[in-house]
Amino acid sequence: MLKGFFNVPAPVNEPIYGYAPGSKERELLKAALAEGRSKVIDIPMYIGNEQVFTEDKGKVTPPHDHKHLLATYSKGTKTHVSQAIDAALAAKANWESLAWEQRAAIFLKAADLIAGPYRYKLNAATMLGQSKNAYQAEIDSACELIDFLRFNVSYMTEIYKQQPPVSPRGSWNRVEQRPLEGFVFALTPFNFTAIAGNLPSCVAMMGNVVVWKPADTQIYAANVIMQIFKEAGLPNGVINLIYGNGPDIGDVIFSHADFAGIHFTGSTGVFQDIWKTIGNNIHKYKTYPRIVGETGGKDFILVHGSADAQVSSTAILRGAFEYQGQKCSAASRVYIAKSKWAEIKELLLRDLATLKMGPTEDFSNFINAVIDEKSFDKLAKYIDQAKKDKGVEIIAGGNYDKSKGYFIEPTVLVVDDPKYTTMSEELFGPVLTVYIYEDKDFDETLEIIDNTSIYALTGAVIAQDRYALDKATTRLRNAAGNFYINDKCTGAVVGQQPFGGARGSGTNDKAGSMINLLRWVSPRTIKETFDPPKDYTYPFLAND
């Protein structure tokens, strides 16, 4: 075995391609989109060394063109879940004993494969399966996932380097970071391919084995991620990819003695149910499971009377409506000083009128479809109720159509009541609610923002007045885990803004940082004494 203290390549953020007309990347991405639409593939589960197909099939259709079939996928049963756990545990000994630099090399290679030969295939899969436009796919499934892989390798080495600062003469103190004892369950969402790739891979990077279930609406891109991991040299059984009924999968996972942790992104309700189940089953486990989760958000933008109107309007539009408001960080409630409202309203409505909505394959569309019919129906219900409620004015949008795709117009509500339903409940779609406050009531508005929602994921304040910025930053310190000054409340970048929130938004373990990786190891302290004592007595025992 090779010996050495190895330095890994210094991570830098992956450059974002522009996909401008006439560019090579635009041509290649359009070709990948056409290739994806030209055939129907059958997606397997990946369990151990096998690709597993079943007779029970699910369908993958583009949210913006739901009559077009992209793929079928094999639904698993409880038996398949047990097989995935067995495969993970069978792979565990060899994987955790593999030198860390060999693990690092696999995921660094995966990053280069995404940056190179798989970039357009993975972006196209995200655009088709999750209805993201070219830019939103690029910053997600290419750049962010690449960044996760490269930066996590660097964070891993920093963790391993952390050692006790003192070893007195005659002894040597050291710490090793062990993988968790058992397997980890990764449960990933539809809205970010990067999250779907990061949640299982960062756990595996630290020497753990994983059972991974993605959201059904993200399976099309998840399959490509698994192909990339396999080509990068990930051994069989280290990450096992399964699909199926959530409660059935949970019944097996959370009852297993070797369950060691969950890495989760999804809804608050599901996460709370999982936590409750783990608590009820705590006596069954060999070790206390690690519970790491990022859930919902009711993210805010606060506009002070000193704010720049154009900065405010742009931050609101991008923060609320990029990827149809389906980012955990998306702005869904905005508080605007009365003195700025007329100017911001004019700019916002002007820009909203220029947004095109339609399929992702047409690169001129800023707005695409929401993820599925369930989401569409939920959003339509909120919009219909807003049309009936007194004290609510719809100043933009308000229309929707699911005949071809699940399209909801970017909708802006202005409300008289700062505690109105859409100011407090998570909608997860292109519906923004605005409350206009009196400039003199800035302090009161800070209190309202802090107490309106159970969530605390992201937030932003826009102002030129430094005293106002300082007051908002201090007063809202618990209202958002990621806080932005004079910017939108979305767009966290790996290596720059570690992401996560507290309160109802999760455990705030900060994906994209060393903090998260520390959750997937269990340290062991080792003290070695070179010349140990041979007499039990101490000097104080001697007679005077």
What is the full DSSP assignment across 293-323? Answer: EE----EEEEE-TTS-HHHHHHHHHHHHHGG
**3-state DSSP of 406-464:** CEECCEEEEECCCCCHHHHCCCCCCEEEEEEECHHHHHHHHHHHHHHCCEECEEEEECC
pLDDT for the residue 4: 87
Distance CA 527, CA 533 (A): 14
Mean pLDDT by runs of 10 across the 544 residues of the chain is: 86 98 98 98 98 98 98 98 98 97 98 98 98 98 98 98 96 98 98 98 98 98 98 98 96 98 96 98 98 97 98 98 98 98 98 98 98 98 98 98 98 98 97 98 98 97 98 98 98 96 97 97 98 94 90
- Rounded to the nearest 10 degrees, what angle do helices 466-475 and 442-452 cross at? 30
pLDDT value of residue 287:
97
Rounded to the nearest 5°, which phi and psi values hold at 462?
Answer: -120, 120
Q: Which of these, 438, 433, 410, 436, lies nearest to 423 by C-alpha position?
A: 433
Residue 373 annotated as catalytic = no
The whole model's pTM is what? 0.96
Question: Could you tell me where the beta strands, DSSP code E, fall in 61-170?
Answer: 71-74
328 is catalytic: yes
Which structure tokens are listed for 217?
A: 């609406």
- For residue 2, the model assigns a pLDDT of 73
Q: What is the largest CA-CA distance in the chain?
A: 98
Of 203, 371, 220, residue with least CA distance to 212: 203
Half-sphere exposure of 466 (CA within 13 A, CB side): 0
14, 143, 322, 328: which is the annotated catalytic residue? 328
Cβ pair 409, 400 in contact under 8 A: yes
Q: Cα(87)–Cα(211) distance, rounded to whole angstroms?
A: 9
* Helices 219-231 and 100-115, packing angle to 10 deg: 120
- Of 191, 193, 202, the residue nearest 225 (C-alpha): 193
User: Going by C-beta distance under 8 Å and a sequence separation of 6 or more, which residues neighbour residue 276?
Assistant: none
